Chains A and B, each alone.
Chain A
């Protein structure tokens, strides 16, 4: 296929993905907005006012970057895993498999679709947070780079999960038992300085800690880890997951007999 045709195929996949999650906006866009608003009210306003400062900022300001990132991670992952698995389940994935679209374009299309939803949710949550606190941006390139790359990374994760899944249970196991605990323990609500030495060490092996802190650095200018290491880690993970996802697509894992 020529570059123009490849771009048309890519944009077709992205448009279809955006059409899907906007068609079911009550399931995809509304819930994170409601949940995050509750977090802002309960943790930020009600409890946060008693906690005082964290990392040199009031508690509400401290948790906003983490909550935005949490919404981005969850939504990016959920979009790709549910969309791709539904296509497998309904066999509409065959529409793509019989077409001349190369596997890397299929992967790029799904990742871009996941990013569209993840970043869209991120924007909605950011706008909602402005009703509770004022956001000043410390390092705009760092903030944008971290959130874009994190969204891409978890879209890739969702894609691999969907490739491996054989039933609907399989697409909820990772978000429930892996993603949610890692996100909650990834420094969204606290600085790891509060933890004893041992648990600080344990926290350092949680990749989400680096993403949350990288993003927090972009907004507040404070971080538990070196922001450059955060970006480096995300890039390494993206490279590994993209390689794995492409290999699985080439082999037709779970989609070709």
Chain B
């Protein structure tokens, strides 16, 4: 299968000498739903910026559906749709004009562009706002406008940089559903996000980047299998005075009186309920304490921070 994106030895050194990318390699398969995760300043936006031609690379190779951006930039761009982190449209233009103008830049005549614009504006719930200047839209509408604009030329690869930042939960879920539908229809999607719940819910493969290096590039399933311990929070029917003894499971009460139980990898969760049943403790609800991916992410980034910490000159 063709790779939607191939990055080899990608390096970026900014004018002030800051090395944002240290020779990263990344492959995203066609049809994938891929997440590029990392803390602020890790190199996510620089990577995507280079792929989208918004940032000049220092060294390395980038291919979009086999089109090298050094030799076939125009072909590479035809396959790409980009949703940036910041609003980057003319705030005084009307919604419909913004979308059809973008199509025009791809060489799509106005008649065809109008049909495509109508399709995506309707899908994203913006059709009634088509004659509204962009500055009059709410934050969520502006984000959806950028998605419609990125899709108007029907790209095979859609890149989204923090697409749901600042969007309320209901709208975020509807945007997830829309992106999942696009992916099912064959569009390869790469997203960066700070909401690890979003990456866990949507993506099949994940790369974690920090300090300009790829720390991990694997499937979500393989990544989550690395999680050795998970903490569950149980709400009991009657308040507990102290954490009950549950044998090999470590327990404690959280600040609000709920019971926290640590479950090691390989331990069965059934045993927890058997023991609670024996103790006459009735559980009315259960949830994981933290997002699983979030735990892994924090652990990897912290480990990398320790490894890449520079020695202090003169320190004993």
Do A and B bind? yes
B107 near A98: Cβ-Cβ < 8 Å: no
Q: Give the distance in Å from the alpha carbon of A5 to the alpha carbon of B105 in the complex.
A: 8
Of the listed stretches A36-44, A86-94, A143-151, A173-181, name the one at the interface; the rest are far from the partner chain: A86-94
Measured between beta carbons, the chain B residues less than 8 angstroms from A101 are 105
The binding surface of chain B is classed by DSSP as: loop
Q: Which of B49, B73, B101 contacts A95 (CB 8 A)?
A: B101
Q: A99 interface residue, CB < 8 Å from B? A: yes
Measured between beta carbons, the chain B residues less than 8 angstroms from A12 are 101, 104-105
Q: B288 interface residue, CB < 8 Å from A? A: no
Q: A2 interface residue, CB < 8 Å from B? A: yes
Q: A31 interface residue, CB < 8 Å from B? A: no
Shortest A148–chain B CB gap in Å is: 25
A9-B104 contact given A23-B92, A90-B91, CB 8 Å threshold: yes
B106 near A5: Cβ-Cβ < 8 Å: yes
The residue on B at minimum CB distance from A94 is B88
B107 near A6: Cβ-Cβ < 8 Å: yes
The A/B interface has a contact count, at CB < 8 Å, of 83
Q: A19 interface residue, CB < 8 Å from B? A: yes
Which one of A11, A86, A91, A102 has the greatest number of beta carbons of chain B within 10 Å?
A: A91
Of the listed stretches B75-83, B185-193, B219-227, B237-245, name the one at the interface; the rest are far from the partner chain: B75-83
Measured between beta carbons, the chain A residues less than 8 angstroms from B105 are 9, 12-13, 95-96, 99-101
Measured between beta carbons, the chain B residues less than 8 angstroms from A8 are 104, 107-109
B74 near A11: Cβ-Cβ < 8 Å: no
Q: Given contacts A9-B105, A97-B52, could you give 6 more A-B pairs where the C-beta distance is less than 8 Å?
A: A8-B104, A9-B104, A9-B107, A95-B89, A99-B106, A100-B105
Q: Give the distance in Å from the alpha carbon of A110 to the alpha carbon of B102 in the complex.
A: 16
Q: Give the distance in Å from the alpha carbon of A101 to the alpha carbon of B104 in the complex.
A: 10
Kindly list the 5 A-B residue pairs having the minimum CB-CB distance in the complex, ordered from nearest.
A5-B107, A12-B104, A99-B105, A91-B88, A100-B77
B56 near A257: Cβ-Cβ < 8 Å: yes
Binding site for B on A (CB under 8 A): 1-2, 4-6, 8-9, 11-13, 15-16, 19, 23, 86-87, 90-92, 94-102, 252, 256-257
Which one of A1, A16, A23, A100 has the greatest number of beta carbons of chain B within 10 Å?
A: A100
Q: B84 interface residue, CB < 8 Å from A? A: yes
B90 near A100: Cβ-Cβ < 8 Å: no
Q: Which of B86, B97, B107 contacts A4 (CB 8 A)?
A: B107
A92 near B90: Cβ-Cβ < 8 Å: yes
Q: Give the distance in Å from the alpha carbon of A102 to the alpha carbon of B80 in the complex.
A: 16
Measured between beta carbons, the chain B residues less than 8 angstroms from A257 are 14, 49, 54-56
B53 near A256: Cβ-Cβ < 8 Å: yes
B88 near A90: Cβ-Cβ < 8 Å: yes
Q: Give the distance in Å from the alpha carbon of A91 to the alpha carbon of B82 in the complex.
A: 14
The residue on A at minimum CB distance from B134 is A92
The residue on B at minimum CB distance from A2 is B107
Q: B143 interface residue, CB < 8 Å from A? A: no
Measured between beta carbons, the chain B residues less than 8 angstroms from A2 are 107
Measured between beta carbons, the chain A residues less than 8 angstroms from B74 are 1, 100, 102
Q: Give the distance in Å from the alpha carbon of A86 to the alpha carbon of B101 in the complex.
A: 17
Measured between beta carbons, the chain A residues less than 8 angstroms from B89 are 90, 92, 95
B106 near A19: Cβ-Cβ < 8 Å: no
Which one of A86, A101, A257 has the greatest number of beta carbons of chain B within 10 Å?
A: A257
Q: Give the distance in Å from the alpha carbon of A256 to the alpha carbon of B52 in the complex.
A: 11
The residue on B at minimum CB distance from A91 is B88
Of the A-B pairs whose beta carbons lie under 8 Å apart in the complex, a sample of 10, sorted by A's number, is: A9-B107, A11-B104, A92-B88, A92-B89, A95-B88, A97-B53, A97-B54, A98-B82, A100-B107, A256-B53
